[in-house]
Every structure is written in C-alpha cells, then in structure tokens.
Amino acid sequence: MANSSDPAICAASLPIPVDLFLSKKHPDHVTTSSGDFIFRLSRQSLKSSSIDKIVLHDAAAAAGPLISIHRVNKESWQGFKGDIGEQDLLFKVERTLNKLRRTEFKVFLVGENSDDSNASLEMKGFPFQRSCTIYKGNTIVAQTSLMHKLHQICVRRGRFRLTIFPGTVDPSLIVALIVIFFDGRI
C-alpha cells in the first residue's frame, strides 16, 4: 500500500473528507490539491486476448503495484491485488445500466459477501459530467465533481475532483473503481 503519510491513506482514518484530482493533462496520475502525485496508472492492451489491463501503483513506486484491473468484457471488470496474476481477486464490477446520460455499476468485494446477488458497493453517475457517486448501502463513500470556478459559465471537463469520505473503504480501491467508471473517458 501507499506510504502511511499520504493524504489518500489518511482518508480512511481521518474524520474529514480528502480531495484527490484527475485530469486530461495527466491522465495516468492521481494528485493532491497541491499537485503531488499519489497514484500512478499504467495501461496495457493485451493483443493475445480481449482483456485490457490497468495497473494502479503507489506514486512513490517503492512498493509494487497496488491493484491490477482487468477488463473481462464490455460490461465487466475484475480487480486483483498487485500485478502477479489472477490468484488474489479483490473485486468484480458489473455495469448494470448504460444509458446515454446515466451509468450504474455493482461492485462485489471478494470475501465480504458469500451471496453473489448482493453488491458490496454501487457506483452511479453521469460520465460526461464527470459525476460519479460510490455508495456502500445508503452511505456515500466517495464522489467526483467538476472543478467549478466563480463567474465561469462553461465548466471545463478536463480536471475533476475525487472526494473520499472517511470510512472503512481503502482509498486505492476507490481510485480503481473511479478508473473503471470513467474507463476511456478521462
């Protein structure tokens, strides 16, 4: 995992929300408000199969990969601990609604539910507006929003905020889920 002094890790333990940022300028990095890199993404397209892979790294890169995300098909993904293979499955994600303006996903955390019909987390939002909310039951775990400025009529979609609320969900997992939600749209 990332360094314990990183703001992203502190999100799970502090009683206040933590903001991270994603942008088109740096599509492979997640930063703090001061511009420091927290997480790094590497994308791989595997020609031998239909699975695309995104690997989430600690920005310090001292530790190995945190989570590798495999696109199974157009509507589902799997997340694995590290990048050593497929034996350490952390989660499965299935798109349940894909309309022009609204997208929804169900997230199944491995080991948390023995019944596959109940999702551990849900993601709902509007990709074009860079809006996504992650729920655990009725509780908001994280959400994204565009960077609004005073006196700005047209809001740019090139940079947006990820707010992680305090709780028990690992910030690297939240970042991985946001990457899946905006897959190909950042």
- CA 15/CA 122 separation, integer angstroms: 22
Is 17 in contact with 160 (CB distance < 8 Å)?
A: no
CA distance linking residue 92 with residue 96, whole number of Å: 13
Nearest to 83 by CA among 61, 65, 70: 65
Amino acid 185 reads R
Radius of gyration for the alpha carbons in the chain, expressed in angstroms and rounded: 16
Phi then psi for residue 77, to 5 deg, are: -135, 160
Look up the CATH superfamily of 18-182. Tubby Protein; Chain A (3.20.90.10)
For residue 44, give both structure tokens.
Answer: 């791989």
C-beta atoms surrounding 59 within 10 Å = 18
Which of the 8 DSSP states describes residue 75? T
pLDDT tens readout for residues 50-92: 557 889 998 876 667 899 999 888 899 999 998 766 678 999 9
Which is more confident, 107 or 14?
Answer: 107
More confident residue, 117 or 170: 170
Q: Where are the domains of the chain?
A: 18-182
- For the ranges 134-138, 154-158, 177-181, the lowest mean pLDDT is seen at 154-158
Phi and psi based region of residue 111 (left: phi greater than 0; alpha: psi -120 to 50; beta: remaining): left
* Mean of all residue pLDDT scores within the chain: 80
Quick check: 156 pLDDT over 70?
Answer: no
Per-residue confidence (pLDDT) for residue 1, from 0 to 100: 42
C-alpha to C-alpha distance for 50 and 84, rounded to whole angstroms: 19
